[in-house]
C-alpha cells in the first residue's frame, strides 16, 4: 500500500481481483478503508492494521480545513468505524491505538494533528517491512535446502505492507538458495492460498503445488512434508493461536506426523490481554462465501441450503513447535516466553 501525498489518498491492491487482474484501489475516506477491510479487498492482519492507520490519517486530512475540533472528532469516528470492520485480528486495534495516542496532543493546530496521524501511519507501514525482513531471516534458518514446506492461507506481501510473515520466510529461504518446494493449501472457502499465495510464489519463482485443504493430512502422514509455516491474526498470552480456518486441523495432522509446526508473527499480533484462545472473538462471515462457489459454471450446493462460515479457528499452544518473531525464535513454555518477549515493548 502507498500513501499518495499529492492527493492525500491511500492506494492499495484490490486482492479480490487476483489472480485474474492486478487492480489498484485509491481510497479517499476512512469509510472507504473500512469497507475495503470488511469486504477483504485488503486482508491479512498486518495489512489490515497498516490500512486502518492510514484510514485514520485520511480522517484527519479530510477534516483539517474545519479546525482542530473537527479533526479530533473525525479521528474518533474513524477509530470506532475502522475498529468494527473485522474483530479477530488484534493488529487492527493495535494500529488504531497507536495513531490515536500519537495525535493526543494539546495543540490546536489542525494541520499539525493531521501530520502527526500521517507520520504515525507511515511509521507503522515502514516498521512492518523492516520487521518482516527480520522474521524472514530467523525463519529461513529453520529450513534446510530442498525441503518441502506446507503453507496455509496467504501470509506474503499481500497480507502485510511488504515481504510477509510465513510466506516471507519461504521467500527468504528461496532467495538464500535453499530452494524449498511449497505445498499451498487452497484455503477454502475464499481460496486465499490458491488465488493469492500461488500468485505471489509465481512472482518470486518459487516451486510449488496447490493442494486441496483436505489433502494436507495425506502429505504430512506420508512423510512428504518437513515443516509447516503459518501466520496468525492473534496470539493469546498462553500461546493459543487464532488463524485462518483450517489451521487447527493442519496443526493436529502435523503433530500426529511429527512435523514441526511454526507460527510466524510480529509481536504486534501477540495479545497478552487475553489469557487463552477461548477469549478471542471469532468472526463468522456471510454464508454466501461457502454457498456461492461454482464448479464448471454451476453451483456446488442445492438451492435453499444454509451454511456456517467461521473465518478463523483456535490452535492450542501445545501444537505450536515455536513462534518466529522479529526478535527471534520463541519456544515453550509460551505463558512465560511470550510475556518475556513483550516486556518493555
Residues involved in catalysis: 233
Integer CA distances (angstroms), 39 to 25, 32, 43, 113, in order: 13, 10, 9, 29
Spatial neighbors of 330 by CB under 8 A, at least 6 apart, are 322, 323, 324, 337, 338, 341
Nearest alpha-carbon partner for 264 in 171, 176, 150, 138: 138
- Provide the grid cell at 82: 475502522
Integer CA distances (angstroms), 333 to 23, 231, 243, 278, 327, in order: 44, 19, 20, 18, 17
Decide: 209 and 119 in contact? Cβ < 8 Å. no
Nearest alpha-carbon partner for 200 in 214, 215, 182, 225: 182
Beta strands in 40-161 (DSSP E): 148-151
What is the three-class DSSP state of 257? coil
Alpha-carbon distance of 192 to 47, in angstroms, equals: 15
Amino acid at each position: 500500500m502507498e500513501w499518495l501525498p499529492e492527493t492525500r489518498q491511500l492506494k492499495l491492491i484490490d486482492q479480490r481481483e487476483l489472480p485474474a487482474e492486478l487492480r489498484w484501489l485509491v481510497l479517499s475516506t476512512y469509510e472507504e478503508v473500512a469497507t475495503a477491510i470488511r469486504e477483504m479487498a485488503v486482508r491479512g492482519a498486518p495489512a489490515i492494521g497498516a490500512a486502518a492507520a492510514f484510514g485514520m490519517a485520511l480522517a484527519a486530512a479530510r477534516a483539517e480545513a474545519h479546525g482542530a475540533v473537527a479533526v479530533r472528532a473525525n479521528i474518533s469516528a474513524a477509530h470506532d468505524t475502522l475498529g468494527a470492520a473485522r474483530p479477530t485480528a488484534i493488529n487492527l486495534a493495535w494500529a488504531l491505538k497507536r495513531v490515536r495516542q500519537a495525535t493526543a496532543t494539546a495543540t490546536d493546530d489542525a494541520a499539525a494533528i493531521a501530520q502527526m496521524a500521517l507520520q504515525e501511519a507511515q511509521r507503522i507501514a515502514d516498521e512492518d517491512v523492516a520487521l518482516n525482513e527480520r522474521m524472514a531471516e530467523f525463519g529461513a534458518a529453520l529450513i534446510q535446502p530442498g525441503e518441502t514446506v506446507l503453507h496455509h492461507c496467504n501470509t506474503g506481501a499481500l497480507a502485510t505492507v511488504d515481504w510477509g510473515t510465513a510466506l516471507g520466510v519461504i521467500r527468504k529461504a528461496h532467495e538464500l538458495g535453499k530452494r524449498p518446494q511449497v505445498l499451498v493449501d487452497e484455503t477454502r472457502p475464499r481460496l486465499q492460498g490458491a488465488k493469492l499465495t500461488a500468485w505471489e510464489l509465481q512472482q518470486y519463482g518459487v516451486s510449488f503445488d496447490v493442494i486441496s485443504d483436505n489433502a494436507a493430512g495425506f502429505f504430512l502422514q506420508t512423510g512428504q512434508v518437513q515443516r509447516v509455516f503459518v501466520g496468525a491474526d492473534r496470539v493469546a498470552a498462553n500461546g493459543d493461536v487464532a488463524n485462518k480456518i483450517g489451521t487447527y486441523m493442519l496443526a493436529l495432522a502435523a503433530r500426529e506426523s511429527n512435523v514441526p509446526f511454526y507460527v510466524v508473527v510480529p509481536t504486534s499480533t501477540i495479545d497478552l490481554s487475553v489469557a487463552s484462545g477461548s477469549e478471542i472473538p471469532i468472526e463468522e462471515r456471510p454464508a454466501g462465501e461457502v454457498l456461492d462457489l461454482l464448479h464448471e459454471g454451476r453451483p456446488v450446493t442445492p438451492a435453499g441450503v444454509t451454511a456456517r462460515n467461521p473465518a478463523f479457528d483456535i490452535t492450542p499452544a501445545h501444537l505450536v513447535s515455536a513462534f518466529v518473531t522479529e526478535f527471534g525464535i520463541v519456544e515453550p513454555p509460551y505463558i512465560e516466553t511470550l510475556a518475556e518477549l513483550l516486556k518493555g515493548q
